[in-house]
Amino acid sequence: MKIRASLFSRPRALLWLPMLLLGVIPLMGSDEYQLSVWTFILLALIVVLGLDVLLGFGGQLSLGHGVFVAIGAYSSALLTTKAGWSGWLAMPSGMAVAALLALIVGVPTLRLRGYYLAMATLGFPVVLDGVLRHASAWTGGSSGVTGVPRLTFGSFVLKDPSQLYWFIFGVVCVVFFVTEQLVRSRFGLALKAVHADEAAASARGINVAQTKVFAFMFSAVLASLSGSLYAHYVQFVAPDTFGISYSIMLIVLLVVGGVGRLWGAVLGTVAMMWLPEMLRSTSTWEPVVYGVILAIVLLFAPQGIAGLVRRRATIPMALVDRSSSADMAFALRKDVTIAGPLLALDGVSKNFGGVHAVSALSYQLAPGLVQSIIGPNGAGKSTLLALVAGTLPPSAGEIRFCGLRIDTLPAHSRARLGIGRTFQHIRLIPGLTVLENVVIGGHAAPSDSDAQTRLLASALLDRLGLAGVADAYPAEINQFQCRLTEIAAALAGRPCLLLLDEPGAGLSSVEISQLVELLRSLREGGISVVLVDHVMSLVMASAQEILVLEHGMLIAQGAPAEVVRNEHVRAAYLGRSTVPASQAEQPV
């Protein structure tokens, strides 16, 4: 199987087109003022690209991002003018300080969901402004720092406007390339997954908090780099430059261009920062025009300029050599030594206030089995799967997997140990293609390289009959294909244990038969399955063992034929005690 990925493929060349157009600006004229405007646009673009990683891809809003620009600017200004450092040493120092501040702020706030980061960063500009003005002995107070030296290469000083533009343009190209590689990597897909659905991302082995913190630190480092370049270009920094209005402007540039689309960040930055030059003769109307443009974008193009164009797949489906992928699709299970039960629960309970969803449940799962859990609605079946997968913490009891106690581990750690899962309501990432959704599951197998993960994902799609829709988005395929995609994503993590929560819901009899064959193939490949479902034809044809829950308690356990004859089970689950066993195999 081959996966074609060329740096100079046509889609990626089009992605670079806005950047290449910026490269010809100095060739269009020698007006130093206009060249300085374009230089400021490049400096802002560095910040906006980092902010796009944080907000556009990671979904985390920073309302005080200008502070990190100020850190870079003041670090370069103070270390070069007060301490006599070289600008090339001062620049990484500022970036390190910005990364450290992002880490300190991000660790406590990004562990939580919602807009805690936005609230935490909202006060940044006010705090920084106060510090800079009161520490006037070092910072120059309101007057700022003057006389910042130009950057030099040996005896060569970067002072010509054209030279400075070309240098900063080169830095922007490097930043754009690094950012593009980042968002196209497994990490970039993880960011999109975290943005869309943190619970699903965790189930695929993604450390949600760590991913968000890294994105925050990356964006802070780029902002600091921009600030350092600004200080050496203007040779002056002052507190007023990086206030709250500057931070809000950065967000506006990104929103207008299109969040989550790097070329949109370029277009938005160029369009909105060049607009004041177009309105110089009517400067009093500038705020009105800005407001009208922003309102139009939000009303008619909420995804920004770039959102008007359909997103191309980050990982297009490879041309699959089926002769090499056929034997690979179910060479999945992690190599683990299993002595005793694969899964063991001892007195596990889960309470939601006064509701006992699971009550003192104890049972074991032997390796190599398909075990089904059935019961009436509200019996605690999905809650039990969530407890095993780590989506919910138990109120009491112990859970062991391969002999290791896991009830205190987060969901992503359990996924990496070999527990894959699907959800009762299909949870795919809507902004990723079918293939990309499956690749996301590879985070649960961190020892696999990106190439191995993509190879396995392609093989899984081929085996499950999804190769033809690999480049489609979840909204463009049917329910059964969505369900198979979710299962494939769980299998991409090479699990020993697969938890399936009502995979048969809403499927036709033909699709149920295909699902039965899939479960049989998984069991033959050494993957154990815990199946929760109400479709008894699926349960009876797949399971070697059935557990029955009622009000969170285990009321029966045994072989399928034995369980369906149990009067207590039939009374609790089917609602009557005279149902023939043959009818118990029908959907309920």
Kindly state the DSSP code that residue 56 receives in the 8-state scheme.
I
Burial class (CB in 10 A: 0-12, 13-18, 19+), 223: buried
Residue 67, in any domain of the structure: yes
Q: Are residues 277 and 390 in the same domain?
A: no
Kindly state the DSSP code that residue 313 receives in the 8-state scheme.
P
Among candidate residues 445, 391, 432, the one with its CA nearest the CA of residue 196: 432
pLDDT in tens, 210-245: 999 999 999 999 999 999 999 999 999 999 888 888
pLDDT in tens, 172-215: 999 999 999 999 888 999 999 999 999 999 999 999 999 999 99
Max CA-CA distance within the chain? 96
Which tokens hold the place of 527? 């993957």
Nearest-angstrom CA–CA distance, 162 and 170: 12
Q: Are residues 253 and 328 in the same domain?
A: no
| pLDDT-based confidence at residue 320 (cuts at 50, 70, 90) | very low
Last residue of a domain, one of 308, 330, 350: 308
Burial class (CB in 10 A: 0-12, 13-18, 19+), 294: middle
pLDDT at residue 324 greater than cutoff 70: no
Q: Are residues 196 and 130 in the same domain?
A: yes
- Residue 202, pLDDT score: 96
**272 contact partners, CB below 8 Å, separation of at least 6:** 249, 252, 253, 256, 290, 293
Kindly state the DSSP code that residue 576 receives in the 8-state scheme.
-
Kindly state the DSSP code that residue 54 receives in the 8-state scheme.
I
Last residue of a domain, one of 251, 274, 308: 308
Residue 281, in any domain of the structure: yes
Q: Which CATH number characterizes residue 530's domain?
A: 3.40.50.300
How far CA 108 is from CA of 186, 189, 197, 347, 482, in Å, comes to 25, 23, 20, 33, 35
Q: Position 522: which residue type?
A: L
- Residue 587, pLDDT score: 40
Residue 359, in any domain of the structure: yes
Q: Which CATH number characterizes residue 60's domain?
A: 1.10.3470
Side-chain half-sphere exposure of 205, counting CA atoms within 13 A: 28
Nearest-angstrom CA–CA distance, 467 and 461: 5
Nearest-angstrom CA–CA distance, 493 and 497: 11
Q: How many C-beta neighbours within 10 Å does residue 396 have?
A: 14
Which tokens hold the place of 403? 């002999």
Side-chain half-sphere exposure of 494, counting CA atoms within 13 A: 19
Residue 353, in any domain of the structure: yes
Q: Once rounded to an integer, what is the mean pLDDT over residues 1-15?
A: 47
- Residue 45, pLDDT score: 96
User: Torsion angle, CA of 291/293/294/296, rounded to 10 degrees?
Assistant: 120
Kindly state the DSSP code that residue 373 receives in the 8-state scheme.
E
Side-chain half-sphere exposure of 363, counting CA atoms within 13 A: 24
Which tokens hold the place of 509? 């009899």
Q: Where are the alpha helices (DSSP H) in 235-312?
A: 244-257, 262-278, 286-300
- Residue 18, pLDDT score: 77
| pLDDT-based confidence at residue 321 (cuts at 50, 70, 90) | very low
Residue 3, in any domain of the structure: no
Q: Once rounded to an integer, what is the mean pLDDT over residues 18-29?
A: 76
Q: How many C-beta neighbours within 10 Å does residue 377 have?
A: 7
Q: Which of 260-274, 275-289, 429-443 has the lowest mean pLDDT?
A: 275-289
Q: Once rounded to an integer, what is the mean pLDDT over residues 307-334?
A: 56
Nearest-angstrom CA–CA distance, 537 and 369: 18
- Residue 28, pLDDT score: 75
Residue 314, in any domain of the structure: no
Q: Are residues 288 and 329 in the same domain?
A: no
- Residue 568, pLDDT score: 83
pLDDT top residue among 309 and 545:
545
pLDDT top residue among 447 and 322:
447
CA 73 and chain centroid, separation: 31
Last residue of a domain, one of 284, 308, 332: 308
pLDDT in tens, 531-564: 999 999 999 999 999 999 988 999 999 999 898 8
Q: Once rounded to an integer, what is the mean pLDDT over residues 440-457?
A: 88
Percentage of the chain modeled with pLDDT above 70: 89
Q: Once rounded to an integer, what is the mean pLDDT over residues 490-501?
A: 94
- Residue 326, pLDDT score: 40
Contact 471, 434 (CB under 8 A): yes
Q: Once rounded to an integer, what is the mean pLDDT over residues 516-532?
A: 93
- Residue 39, pLDDT score: 93
- Residue 571, pLDDT score: 78
Q: Are residues 422 and 332 in the same domain?
A: yes
- Residue 419, pLDDT score: 95
pLDDT at residue 325 greater than cutoff 90: no
Q: How far apart are the first and last CA of the chain?
A: 43
Phi, psi of 123 (to 5 degrees): -85, -5
pLDDT in tens, 129-160: 888 888 888 888 888 899 999 999 988 999 89
Contact 203, 421 (CB under 8 A): yes
Q: Are residues 259 and 356 in the same domain?
A: no
Q: Once rounded to an integer, what is the mean pLDDT over residues 372-385?
A: 92
Q: Are residues 226 and 98 in the same domain?
A: yes
DSSP reduced 3-state for 419: strand
Kindly state the DSSP code that residue 62 receives in the 8-state scheme.
-
Which tokens hold the place of 326? 């056929």
- Residue 171, pLDDT score: 96
- Residue 332, pLDDT score: 54
pLDDT at residue 11 greater than cutoff 60: no
pLDDT in tens, 48-74: 999 999 999 999 999 899 999 999 999
Nearest-angstrom CA–CA distance, 187 and 164: 33
Q: Are residues 287 and 399 in the same domain?
A: no
Q: Are residues 150 and 203 in the same domain?
A: yes
Q: Are residues 498 and 580 in the same domain?
A: yes
pLDDT in tens, 386-397: 999 999 999 999
Q: Which domain holds residue 142?
A: 10-308
Among candidate residues 514, 439, 457, 522, the one with its CA nearest the CA of residue 483: 514
Q: Are residues 287 and 145 in the same domain?
A: yes
Contact 228, 91 (CB under 8 A): yes
Kindly state the DSSP code that residue 317 receives in the 8-state scheme.
P
Q: How many domains does the chain have?
A: 2
Q: Which of 73-77, 261-265, 315-319 has the lowest mean pLDDT?
A: 315-319
- Residue 566, pLDDT score: 85
**Helix or strand run (H / E) with residue 361:** strand 355-365
Residue 534, in any domain of the structure: yes
Residue 74, in any domain of the structure: yes
**Helix or strand run (H / E) with residue 371:** strand 370-374
For the beta sheet containing 497-501, the strands, ordered from the edge strand earlier in sequence to the opposite edge, are: 419-421, 497-501, 528-532, 370-374, 545-550, 553-558
- Residue 10, pLDDT score: 47
pLDDT at residue 12 greater than cutoff 70: no
Q: Are residues 138 and 258 in the same domain?
A: yes
**Long-range contacts of the stretch 25-28 (C-beta < 8 A, 24+):** 25/165, 26/162, 26/165, 26/166
